[in-house]
Structure 1
Amino acid sequence: MIGFAEHAGSTPLHEAPESTLREKDPPVQKHSVHTLVFRSLKRTHDMFLSDHSALPPVSENAEKICKAVKAKDQYGSVIAIVEKQRRELAQEGITDMHHNENGGFVSNKDGMAADGSVKSSGDTSLALFTQNKAMLPVGLDGASSTGKMPTSLVSQKKLSSMPKPKWHPPWKLHRVISGHLGWVRCVTVEPGNEWFATGAADRVIKIWDLASGKLKLSLTGHVSTVRGLVVSPRHPYLFSCGEDRQVKCWDLEYNKVIRHYHGHLSAVYGISLHPTIDVLITVGRDSVGRVWDMRTKANIHTLSGHTNTVASVLTQAVEPQVITGSHDSTIRLWDLASGKSMATLTNHKKSVRALAMHPDLYMFASASTDNIKQWKCPKGEFIQNLSGHNAIINALAVNQDGVLVSGADNGSLNFWDWRTGYNFQRIQTQVQPGSMDSEAGIFSMTYDLSGTRLITTEADKTIKVYKEDDEATEESHPVDWKPDILKRRRF
């Protein structure tokens, strides 16, 4: 009885507490994610294997009906024309016809076997089907049985679709301006088109009258070569950058520096102002671009991604708002709001030292030693190559008339028609007295706002102004256009 009471009072096994059962369960083996995924895939494979192995039988009749419907839908008009021409040929007495591999018709009565092979005896002639409903036997050597090549069978060579380039008057040297004591590295024209500023290796920024070429002002403050200049269209400010790692804001009402933008770790090679918001972008030898708030001097974004010196920068109001070219042979398109790279263009094989935005079209050009390339925004779609300027190109500029000009280290200037890529003029600059022939390099260039004057800064310490030749005509300077040579090479 005692044993029974004890047994009755004890908890049955199936009613044992959960904690007690959990303690007695064997430890659960943990598998890796890879093992679990593999097992899941195997179960799925086993589950659906029977479905794949027992596919329904294919009905040949249904396949024929499907192909007939598709052929009638896509080639109905062509089939009707072929049937009509077959009937016309039958009326003319040529009835024994079949299709050849090329989609034409072949006559069997002149040495062609039914399977399409040429018989060993007889005349090996092919009956070609032409647009004017004529069936003319043509020998395998291309001549007809009458000995003359039928004119209807001569395929007309497709004419080049490349448009003829627009005629541009040639450019000629108008003025040489001296005054700097070192290489002149950068130039900018102010928004009023009355004066322009240049920066040089003598650490001085000089402001010149655009009409007369006379010196108006000299600004000193940089302690190394001045590499970039830009004038604000909305404020009386001039921004400069140089190899001393400094970025300065000059107040042109007082002709003194009012702000410094600190952050670059090495020489600053390029500078640009956003056209609609008060933002300044600088690029340099530290392989990054920096976005500055013009007023607070805060470094808003650091555009990282290039692996070598960033030599040039462009800004515009719409996407991509910032475009940079680097010595790592790439061009990057940046979103200014996020500071992230939108695209990287790797078509160039050598350093990209110069960029130029077209003033009217949604396009830009980039220059490297291999060639000049044109791109379409916003995704950076490649348009065409402009090959022929075989030198280290330091500068690009383009005006509203579609004249793109490239300047190189060896003092050569090439003028291009933007639309077709036709190189209509080449100029070799002459060094000024007292300079060596090796000092013929062009470092920067820009058009004035009218697009009729081109300003270049050069290694012989001078500034040269070029203008269009007013006396030139299409007869005196014709367009030497060869479309076969100017085929667009897409790479």
Structure 2
Amino acid sequence: MSDPIDEQNGVDHHDDGQAEFNDLLDYSRNITKTLFGKQLLIYPGSLNIPDDRTMRRRDALKRIKTRDQYGNLMEELVKPDHPLARPRPNVQLEMAPKENIDANAKESAAQKQSQDKTVALTKKIESAANSVRSLILPWMNSIDKKSSAMDEMIKPEWHPPWKLYRMISGHNGWVHSLAVDPSNMWFASGCRDGLIKIWDIASGRLRITLTGHISGVRGLAVSDRHPYLFSCGDDKMVKCWDLEQNQVVRHYHGHLSGVYCLAMHPTENIIVTGGRDSVARVWDMRSKEQIHCLTGHTGTVGALQCMDGNSSQLITGSYDTTIRLWDIKMGKTMNTLTNHKKSVRALALKHDKSAFVSGAFDNLKQWTLPDAKFVQNLSGHNSIINCLATNQQNVLVSGADDGTLFFWDWRTGHNFQKFASPVQQGSIESEASVLAMTFDRSGARLITGQSDKTIKMYREDPNASEETHPIDWKPDITRRDRF
């Protein structure tokens, strides 16, 4: 009867010893050939390598020997409660629920800690982002505002350049004042020598000389409705000249010091004067009576402009750096502008009376009327601005103490031309100051009075075009934000 173990493994008991011997012999022979095959001239191709059947036989012998010698011990190790028992996969799952729970707890704690760190990091990132946003947003808003402001800025209108075409000599002192006849046939000039001269505007020839002031003539105005010329000067006098008789017909007494400026109301029979006594006086043209003495300035009243309206009808500029708007009927200040930091020496109205401009050493400033809201600065002069003038083509001209003329586009404030006025022969450059200026009634001629004792006349260059003199302009997004 055969052994059941041998039958189970499929090996005959009779051949076990012989097979084992053969295997050992083969093994020894193989080792010998491997170690000494080179010396014995035995090549690897001639080695006897066991086949698959031999390898299966060896495995069967190993299993038989293991069961014979360690069978009892293996049965003990198979029991789950034995201390040396090898854990099976299903046993490990059943025996380690606590470890799994601990591992899960640790994993959950780690995940929670990671989540807490993530939340904290997210909060830090959000805080940093908010800080950066608080810094960037104003900058971005300013960029947007500047971009929108740049989009809104209008390209200035093209104006032909102006050129000097006539220089008139005849005065013996500085030319402080100018006025043009309503018919645009002649203009008058007042000089520091106390003389008033009337010139033909077409030819530049002298028509007549008026004498009467004993000191410099500072202001002139020609009536649109009467044949009258009004003058004022350093002799504290205000005079009315009848141009049909060429003589003084009225005197207006009241100023305590030199009278520096004079203006006529466009519709009422009144004139306004201002001077070194820091007041502006309103006079009845016919009766010579003083209607109002407008006090409030603390320095010389250096510029005046009258306009027709229901409220603010008078604008005064003073050396105390302020501008005041007055109601002439009430004799009260309606508005005081303190934007200038230097003496205000010049004022000019826009041709349609919807705005005005003021000039001082720091810059020019444009204002709306009648509410006197600031519009924009016009910067560029490096000297005191003595006079201003405007015409119907929206050209604004400013004259300075250094002899320069700046031509501006009123709407945009673009300085389209800078002109250094020449001095006449025999004069020095320091005598080039532009002290007075006015356009003729058509706006086609510009007349200036200067400290070199000359009167100069300018007009547009007829040969200029947009192709020969293109606009040199680029948007300035910072200019309008300043006062």
SS in 2 for 1:197: strand
1:37-58 Cα shifts (integer Å, max 9, x gaps):
xxxxxxxxxxxxxxxxxxxxxx
The alpha carbon displacement at 1:487 in A equals 3.3
Change (3 A) 1:166 1:118: same
1:258-286 Cα shifts (integer Å, max 9, x gaps):
00000000000000000001001000000
Task: Judge which range, 355-364 or 460-469, deviates more.
Answer: 355-364
Distance 2:350 2:466 in 1: 25
Distance 2:275 2:125 in 1: 76
The alpha carbon displacement at 1:182 in A equals 0.6
The alpha carbon displacement at 1:249 in A equals 0.3
Distance 1:470 1:488 in 2: 33
Structure 1 counterpart of 2:437, from 437, 440, 445: 445
Q: Which residue of 1 aligns with 2:345?
A: 353
Runs of 4 or more above 2 Å deviation: 111-120, 155-159, 484-487
1:101-121 Cα shifts (integer Å, max 9, x gaps):
xxxxxxxx9x9849953689x
> Superposition pairs for residues 402-481 of structure 1, below 5 Å?
402-481=394-473
Cα RMSD of the aligned pairs, angstroms, is: 2.4
Which amino acid in 2 is paired with 1:266? S
TM-score by length of 2: 0.70
Task: Judge which range, 228-237 or 479-488, deviates more.
Answer: 479-488
1:52-87 Cα shifts (integer Å, max 9, x gaps):
xxxxxxxxxxxxxxxxxxxxxxxxxxxxxxxxxxxx
Distance 2:146 2:381 in 1: 31
SS in 2 for 1:488: helix
Change (3 A) 1:433 1:299: same
Matched, 1:117 2:107: no
Distance 1:194 1:115 in 2: 85
On the 8 A contact 1:431/1:439 being kept in 2, the answer is yes
Distance 1:180 1:448 in 2: 20
Distance 2:430 2:445 in 1: 26
Structure 1 counterpart of 2:147, from 141, 144, 158: 158
Which amino acid in 2 is paired with 1:304? T
> Superposition pairs for residues 72-471 of structure 1, below 5 Å?
113=119, 117=123, 158=147, 160=150, 161-318=152-309, 319-471=311-463
Distance 1:156 1:413 in 2: 34
On the 8 A contact 2:367/2:373 being kept in 1, the answer is yes
Change (3 A) 1:299 1:474: same
On the 8 A contact 1:394/1:444 being kept in 2, the answer is yes
Which amino acid in 2 is paired with 1:474? E
On the 8 A contact 1:112/1:119 being kept in 2, the answer is no
SS in 2 for 1:438: helix
On the 8 A contact 2:345/2:359 being kept in 1, the answer is yes
Distance 1:304 1:456 in 2: 31
The alpha carbon displacement at 1:488 in A equals 1.3
Change (3 A) 1:485 1:381: closer
The alpha carbon displacement at 1:475 in A equals 1.4
Distance 1:224 1:489 in 2: 44
On the 8 A contact 1:288/1:302 being kept in 2, the answer is yes
On the 8 A contact 2:292/2:331 being kept in 1, the answer is yes
The alpha carbon displacement at 1:484 in A equals 3.4
Query: For structure 1, which runs of at least 5 residues remain unmatched after alignment?
Result: 1-108, 121-125, 127-154
Which amino acid in 1 is paired with 2:242? D
Percent identity among equivalent residues?
A: 60
Distance 1:377 1:346 in 2: 16
The alpha carbon displacement at 1:380 in A equals 1.1
Distance 1:157 1:277 in 2: 46
Change (3 A) 1:171 1:485: farther
Distance 1:263 1:156 in 2: 53
Change (3 A) 1:371 1:112: farther
Which amino acid in 2 is paired with 1:363? A
Greater Rg by CA: 2
Query: For structure 2, which runs of at least 5 residues remain unmatched after alignment?
Result: 1-114, 130-143
Distance 1:462 1:179 in 2: 7
On the 8 A contact 2:353/2:369 being kept in 1, the answer is no
On the 8 A contact 1:195/1:209 being kept in 2, the answer is yes
SS in 2 for 1:323: strand
Which amino acid in 2 is paired with 1:158? S
On the 8 A contact 1:112/1:118 being kept in 2, the answer is no
Q: Which residue of 2 aligns with 1:489?
A: 481
Counting matched residue pairs gives: 353
Which amino acid in 2 is paired with 1:489? D
SS in 2 for 1:395: strand
SS in 1 for 2:316: strand
**The structure with more helix, counted as a fraction of residues:** 2
TM-score by length of 1: 0.69
Distance 1:441 1:223 in 2: 23
On the 8 A contact 2:300/2:319 being kept in 1, the answer is yes
SS in 1 for 2:481: coil
Change (3 A) 1:369 1:112: farther
Change (3 A) 1:199 1:115: same
Distance 1:444 1:399 in 2: 15
